[in-house]
Amino acid sequence: MKLALFQIDTVIGDIKGNKEKIITGYRKAVKDKADLVVFPELALLGYPSLDLVEKKEFRDTVNIAAHEIAAQTNAVGLLFGSLTEEDDVVGTNLFNSALLCYEGKIQFVQHKTLIPNYDVFDEMRYFESARDVFVHEFKGEKLGISICEDIWNDKDYWKKRLYSNDPVERLLDKKATFLINISASPYSYGKRKARLEMLSALTEKDKIGLAYVCNVGAQTDLIFDGASMCFDIAGNLIQLGKNFDEDYILYDTDKKYEQITKVERTFEEEIHDALVYGLKEYCTKLNFKKVLVGLSGGLDSAIVAYLAVQAIGKENVNVVMLPSKYSSEGSVKDSEKLIANLGILSNKISIQPVVDKALETLQPLFGEKPEDITEENLQSRTRGLLLMALSNKLKYLLLSTGNKSEMAVGYATLYGDMCGGLAVIADVYKSDLYRIANFINRNGEIIPEAIVTKAPSAELRPDQTDQDSLPPYELLDKILRMYLEENKEMEEISQMIGDKEIVKNILRLVDHNEFKRRQAAPALRVSNKAFGYGRRFPIVQGWRK
């Protein structure tokens, strides 16, 4: 069988655009004499469509479009993801489905069996589980069709499984001769390699070929990296789609292909490309032509400005330096050097007159109270005020520049440096940003060396450094990884760190700053546990007082 696999970038809710993309791809594959054309999970409506699926008009539009697509087919099969609806008095009656069309009709439907309900997945809110799975005979093959999560539950591979049911095992029991999995699997570093190992083990064990077709694109905070995969009966990866780009793969099951062994690059390369791609997609899909960055002279804003240039071009990036009386001469000069290296537009506005006037206005109410963090936050909020005004007036997308370490412990000012429409690096720890900076400078200095090497500082009071309030970032990030991503608690982390008071203080800061993160801009997700929709903790709680 000759398969044509399309990993496409859809727009959530753009039924007409997604439909046209599917039909156009199908016609191309027909010309290339494919037997079966395959598109990803929920390709017709976009993934994840969230509460849009609760609207009847939306569902009706999807259903009409699905039949319009089917009407375009001939003897060549077309498999794509959509939602389907059944008439029942119990449950949501909605299914995440794979539709196989040929000869002008929808000939076969397979619903998704395993409905994930963890991390960024909330499909149980919308979809019911398939009551059974079936194979479908098509052009000499018995196709075993599954959807995303359905293939992630092999009892011989996973030591601990999330589900007792294994849809793929049941497809094999029903004598499937070839497996197809359509997927919308969000990116995180390391997941592509894990996917390779899992699918390779499954196909080798069961001596069966597999076409795994994955979504690509970015939907707000979620990035989909593509990298569709085909495996032979020996478990060898023999076809691999592009990373972070649409692709079209022709796979003939009767041909022999060279084995592919490498699917992931270095951490720095992967995260760099994922962030650039996620930012570009966000701007494109929301129709932002230009972005704005508040440039502080520090590493975080420098990297965000660089990534923006890579995503949408230097002519579309404008940075603003906003010095105060505490800003060092070096920070301004470092920023100016970065601006020259990137070739971007820039402006400089002193925040001091606004800060002074605000303090003068507040003095009758502040009275004789000593200076504290209030005055520091006022400076940050003045910067936020000016940046948001420029964003509104000039129609720029303001990018937030906080990193994951800062967001975790609340070392960021609400309505100040947290202002913005997208948090580009808020899922990257500070210690990892140094690695990315060195990667950016691998062929010559782009980010000035002084920015990379100087002690991080918010510069909101004389001689301030981040380490006045926080432990060294290497130690902080080690604690945060264990707490945020490995779900370890204080006693276990303390044993590994050797300092219970530091751990206690850091975990308290994480928990007590949940209210800030709840109001933060969406953050591009590149780890297996990002802040936002995939991490849900209460603001009001008594677990850690």
Q: Which residues are catalytic, by number?
A: 41, 112, 148
Report which of 128, 118, 149, 127 is spatially closest to residue 50, judged by C-alpha positions. 127
What is the tally of helices (H) and strands (E) in the chain? 16, 19
- Residues with Cβ within 8 Å of 280's Cβ and at least 6 positions away in sequence, in order, are 311, 312
> For 80, how many CA atoms within 13 A lie in the half-sphere containing its CB?
34
Q: DSSP character for 137? A: E
Q: Any idea which residue has 């032979």 for tokens?
A: 232
DSSP alpha helix (H) spans, 102-190? 167-173
**Under a CB-based contact definition with an 8 Å cutoff, are residues 256 and 264 in contact?**
no
Beta strand pairing call for 94-102 and 77-85: antiparallel
Residue 377 CA to residue 373 CA, distance in Å, equals 6
107's tokens: 């000939």
Q: Which residue has the tokens 């478990």?
A: 235
CA–CA gap between residue 410 and residue 164 (Å, rounded): 40
Provide the strand spans (E) within 310-452: 317-321, 345-348, 397-400, 422-423
The C-alpha atoms of residue 247 and residue 17 are separated, in whole angstroms, by 17
The secondary structure of residue 128, as a DSSP letter, is P
Contact 161, 198 (CB under 8 A): no
Q: How far apart are CA 221 and CA 530, in angstroms?
A: 9
For helices 267-285 and 430-440, the axis angle rounded to 10 degrees is: 90
Among 361, 329, 373, 330, smallest CA distance to 461 is for 373
Dihedral sign for Cα 392, 396, 397, 398, please. Answer: negative
* Cis-peptide into 48, omega within 30 deg: yes
State the residue for tokens 């950016």: 440
